[in-house]
Amino acid sequence: MPNRRLVARAPLDELVPRFVQIREEEGVRVTRGAAVLAEVADREEEPKHIVGDRVDLTDLPFVTIDPDGSRDLDQAIHMERAGDGWRIRYAIADVAAHVSPRGALDADTWDRVETVYCPDLIVGLHPPTMSEGYASLLPGQRTKAVVWDLVVAGDGTLRSTDVRRGWVVCVRQYSYAELADAPPPEAVALVSLLAEFGAARRSVLREAGAVTLPKPSQEVERDQGGLRLAFRAARGIEDDNAQVSLVTGMAAARLMLDAGVGVLRTMPPASDDAVRRLKRQALALGVDWPRGAEYSGVLDTIDAASATGAAFLTAAVTLFRGAAWEPFDASRGLPAPDNVTHGALAAPYAHVTAPLRRLVDRYGTEICVAHAAGQPVPSWVTDALRGLGKTMISGVRRGGRVDRACIDAVEAAVLDSHVGEEFAAVGLDKDTIQLAEPAVVARCTGDIRVGRRMRATLVHADIRDGVRFEAAP
C-alpha cells in the first residue's frame, strides 16, 4: 500500500488529556524521582563495573541513519569494501557505561523496560539528558560506544565478528527520507554499499527460509499542531539499514551460544495448522500459492497495496506468534531453550543494537563484549538474566497497548464529525476493515467481504473507546 496522508487532522491539544489518561492507566510514568536523576551524569572515566580497555576509533567517520528528527541515536555505521564483500563497523551506544548496576537508574529502567512513543511525547527508557544527550551517538560528539566489527562476504555470509568498547565521533546524521530521495554526494557511496549488502543479506535469509511480512504500518504523524494518520511502507534504505542490525543480532546470538550464556530473541516456526489455515485463506482470496511453495516465498509475491494483499497479510500475522526473550546460563543451571532459532529469521538471533530504547540490549551487549575479550560475564549481568525474559514481555505488551489506544483515540478524533457517513474500505477479516482514506483500521459488524472492496458506515466515534463501523448492504 503506498504512503498516504490524511486530509483531515485531529487537534493535538484536544487529545493530550486522553493520551495522559492512557499512560496513567497503563502505569507509564513520565517523571523520574530525585534518586534517579542524581545518577544521570556524563563521566569521562570508566565506572568500576566496566572491565577492559576502550579503543580510540574517533578517526573513523561514522554516520547515523534514523527517522527525521531522532535524538536517541543507538547506532552509527562505517562501511567499506572488503574484497568482494564488506567490512562494517557498527557502533552501538554504550549504555552500560552510564548505568550503575543495582542503582536507582537501573531499577527505573527495569520498571520502564522500553521507550514508549506517544503522539504528544516520547517517554524514554532513560532520562532525555542521557538518551538524547551524552549517551546518544549525536554528530560531532565524542561518545562511548560498543563497536561491532563485521566482515561479510559478497554472497552475504558472515565471515568474522569482533566486538569491543571504543570512543567514536559521528560526522553526520542522515534521515531515511534524505538518503532515499536525493542522497547528498558524500553519501552516495554509502547508499550504494548498503543496497548491495542488503540485497546479499536478503538472498541469504530467503535461501534459509526466513520470512518478511511486508505489511505497511499505521502511524500517527504530527503536523502544525495537529495529528494525521498514515499507512507507511518501509523505504528500501530502511530495509538495507535494518539488515545491518539483523546480521549484528545474529552474530551476537552466535557469541552467546558459544559462551553458554545469553538471552535470545526466539520465535517458534509456523505450525502446520497455521500454514494450512493460511493456505485456505489464500484459496478463498484468490492468492496464488503454487504447489510445493513455502509460505515464505508466497509472502514475497504479495502486493500489499491491493485489497486481497492487505487481507492476506493480515491473516499471515497468525504465523508470527509466540515470540519471547529466552535467557540461559549453563554455569548456573539455566538451560538454553529447546528452540534457539527465531522462526521468522531462520537463525538464532539476539537484541543488542537498541540499548537506549530497550532494556534487554544492555545485557546482551555486555555478554558479547565479555566473551569476545575472553573475560567472564560480569555477575551483575548473570544475576539479572533469570527474570529478564518475563520483564521484557510484560513491558513490550504494555507499550503495544499504549500505542494501540493512542491510535484509536486519534482515529476517533479524526472521524468524530463523520458518524453516519459511508467510507470505502477493504475487509481484512470477519471483524476488521481498513479504510481507503483516512488511514484507519477498525472493528466492523455485519457482512464483511474479506479481501474485497466494500463500503462501511461509521456508527460510533469516541476518543475513549475508538471507532466502530457497520458493513453497508
| Model pLDDT for residues 79-114, shown as the tens digit of each residue | 999 999 999 999 999 999 999 999 999 999 999 999
**8 pLDDT more than 70:** no
**294 pLDDT more than 90:** no
**4 pLDDT more than 80:** no
Distance of CA 61 to the CA centre of its chain: 25
What would the grid cell of residue 216 be?
505497511
Percent of the chain with pLDDT over 90: 75
> Which pLDDT score, from 0 to 100, does residue 321 have?
87
Percent of the chain with pLDDT over 70: 98
**313 pLDDT more than 90:** no
Within a domain: 409: yes
Domain of residue 162, residue span: 10-268+322-418
Contact between 257 and 318 under an 8 Å Cβ cutoff? The reply is no
Q: What is the mean pLDDT of the chain?
A: 93
Within a domain: 405: yes
Within a domain: 457: no
**1 pLDDT more than 70:** no
> Which pLDDT score, from 0 to 100, does residue 280 have?
86
Within a domain: 273: no
Q: Residues 282-308: what's their mean pLDDT?
A: 86
How many angstroms separate the CA atoms of 78 and 398, rounded? 35
Q: Residues 343-354: what's their mean pLDDT?
A: 96
> Which pLDDT score, from 0 to 100, does residue 5 have?
37
Within a domain: 354: yes
Total domains in the chain come to 1
Decide: helix, strand or coil at residue 87: strand
How many angstroms separate the CA atoms of 253 and 340, rounded? 9
How many angstroms separate the CA atoms of 209 and 117, rounded? 32
Decide: helix, strand or coil at residue 108: helix
- Predicted TM-score (pTM) of this structure: 0.93
Which residues on adjacent β-strands are paired with residue 267? 342
**Which tens digits make up the pLDDT trace of 113-136?**
999 999 999 999 999 999 999 999
Within a domain: 49: yes
Could you tell me the pLDDT band of residue 6, with boundaries at 50, 70 and 90?
very low
Within a domain: 292: no
**152 pLDDT more than 80:** yes
Q: 138 CB contacts (<8 Å, ≥6 apart)?
A: 71, 73, 170, 173
Decide: helix, strand or coil at residue 271: coil
> Which pLDDT score, from 0 to 100, does residue 3 have?
33
What would the grid cell of residue 340 be?
534457539
**7 pLDDT more than 80:** no
Contact between 296 and 208 under an 8 Å Cβ cutoff? The reply is no
Within a domain: 75: yes
